[in-house]
């Protein structure tokens, strides 16, 4: 058996080169994302490395690289699907899980909606879907990740779609302008609004009103005393859910560091923000999945209230596959 490695910027290029070099009988053995060579690698670009094999004697009726699928060698013949999932940034174990879950028929068709459904079937535990609100929903996270905007989107969507009122609490009062941003949103949405200038005022604000409350906090370092005080206060209360907001383009290493840094705040949920700005959300999702914290929302742009989705398995699968940018409609296993 002849085995060769092919390194190209995209899976499509690699498969084309393999077909030209080894012919249509070649089989994909494995796929990896590797650092690109030369200056492309220095600036962080990655190539796809596909290992292909040519059987010593072509087996009659044996499936080929691009069309490869057979019941006796399911993974290698599904290499095209795994390669494309890897190229979209998915980690290997997830890509292989999806490929293994695919039936030959699903594999053959491989339209984008079918792949999204397949991937979604593996994401149930990582998402919360449309869960009921806790009495208090607190949003924490580094500066500028989109906490305030996310809260405004949630309150505005609930108001517009279900006629439901959520109260807004600005616990970010020490920064000039920060509370005004939320106050403005509250008045546009028609939501009750309170400012908490201290932990004591926050304690009082959380008692008031009959609606569920969305609490906006200042973007600050987890080592900051303010966050410790907040945690201490919320730790004494029931019905509190804490969302840690992390930007989608955060690398796996940075995400792990962030999750460690915010560990004491005990986040119950992760909001993945700025999905529209990220090349891939897969590294962040892999880091979050390791910690077993489900994703509650995805934010997909600056528009309030449109650019927010509940993190359903389908929505997360759509974000991971970047909805068609990888040419899935034309793909087969
Ligand atoms: N592209 C994009 N921009 C977003 C998204 N969500 C928020 N933003 C923008 O990010 C910037 C910061 O948003 P904020 O909601 O003020 O962020 P924050 O976390 O409250 O910031 P601090 O309170 O300063 O920590 C604003 O310009 C938002 O319009 C998103 O999903 N996509
Ligand atoms: Mg803010």
For residue range 291-300, what is the model confidence (pLDDT) as tens digits?
A: 999 999 999 9
Q: How much is the average pLDDT of 145-162?
A: 96
Identify the residue with better confidence: 72 or 300: 300
The CATH number given to 131-311 is: 3.40.50.300
Q: Which helix (H) or strand (E) holds 151?
A: helix 147-162
Yes or no: say if 108 and 141 are a contact pair by the CB < 8 Å rule. Answer: no
Q: Where are the domains of the chain?
A: 2-80, 131-311
Instruction: Report the distance separating Cα 199 and Cα 206, nearest Å.
Output: 11
Residue 173: pLDDT over 70: no
Q: Which helix (H) or strand (E) holds 310?
A: strand 308-310
Nearest to 50 by CA among 92, 83, 1, 90: 83
Instruction: Report the distance separating Cα 207 and Cα 178, nearest Å.
Output: 23
Residue 69: pLDDT over 70: no
Centroid of ligand 2 to alpha carbon of 146 (angstroms): 7
Q: How much is the average pLDDT of 173-202?
A: 88
Q: In the numeric block, which tokens belong to residue 157?
A: 């969507």
Task: Identify the pLDDT of residue 56.
Answer: 67
Paired with 31 in beta bridges are 50
pLDDT digits (tens, 9 = 90+) for 74-107: 445 577 777 767 766 677 778 888 888 887 766 6
Task: Identify the pLDDT of residue 55.
Answer: 67
Contacts of residue 227, Cβ cutoff 8 Å, sequence gap at least 6: 140, 217, 220, 221, 265
Contacts of residue 303, Cβ cutoff 8 Å, sequence gap at least 6: none
Q: Which residues surround ligand 2, an ion (CB under 5 A)?
A: 147-148
Mutate to test the pocket of ligand 1, among 138, 145, 147, 149 (most ligand atoms within 8 A of CB): 149
Centroid of ligand 2 to alpha carbon of 197 (angstroms): 15
Task: Identify the pLDDT of residue 71.
Answer: 35
Mutate to test the pocket of ligand 1, among 141, 142, 144, 177 (most ligand atoms within 8 A of CB): 144
Residue 166: pLDDT over 80: yes
Q: What is the pTM of this model?
A: 0.78
Task: Identify the pLDDT of residue 57.
Answer: 55
Task: Identify the pLDDT of residue 132.
Answer: 95
């Amino acid at each position: 058996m002849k085995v060769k490695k092919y390194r190209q910027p995209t899976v499509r290029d690699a498969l084309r080169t393999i077909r030209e070099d080894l012919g249509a009988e070649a089989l994909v053995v494995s796929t990896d994302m590797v650092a690109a060579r030369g200056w492309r690698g220095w600036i962080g670009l990655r190539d796809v490395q596909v290992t292909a094999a040519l059987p010593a004697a072509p087996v009659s009726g044996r499936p080929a690289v691009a069309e490869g699928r057979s019941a006796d060698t399911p993974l290698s013949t599904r290499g095209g699907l795994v390669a494309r999932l890897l190229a979209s940034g998915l980690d290997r174990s997830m890509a292989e899980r999806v490929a293994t879950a695919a039936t030959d028929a699903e594999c053959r068709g491989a339209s984008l909606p079918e792949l999204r459904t397949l991937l979604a079937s593996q994401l149930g535990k990582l998402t919360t879907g449309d869960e009921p609100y806790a009495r208090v929903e607190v949003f924490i996270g580094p500066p500028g990740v989109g906490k305030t905007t996310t809260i405004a989107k949630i309150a505005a969507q609930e108001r517009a779609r279900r006629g439901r009122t959520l109260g807004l609490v600005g616990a970010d009062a020490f920064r000039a302008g920060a509370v005004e941003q939320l106050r403005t949103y509250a008045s546009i949405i028609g939501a009750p609004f309170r400012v908490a200038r201290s932990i004591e005022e926050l304690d009082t604000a959380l008692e008031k009103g009959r609606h569920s409350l969305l609490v906006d906090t200042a973007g600050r370092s987890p080592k900051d005393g303010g966050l410790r005080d907040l945690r201490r206060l919320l730790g004494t209360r029931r019905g509190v859910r804490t969302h840690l907001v992390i930007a989608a383009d955060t690398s796996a290493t940075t995400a792990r560091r962030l999750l460690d840094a915010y560990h004491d705040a005990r986040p119950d949920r992760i909001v993945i923000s700025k999905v529209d700005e990220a090349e891939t959300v897969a590294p962040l999702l892999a880091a979050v999945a390791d910690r077993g914290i489900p994703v509650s929302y995805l934010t997909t742009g600056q528009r309030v209230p449109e650019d927010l989705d509940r993190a359903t398995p389908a929505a997360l699968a759509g974000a991971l596959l970047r909805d068609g940018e990888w040419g899935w409609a034309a793909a087969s296993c």
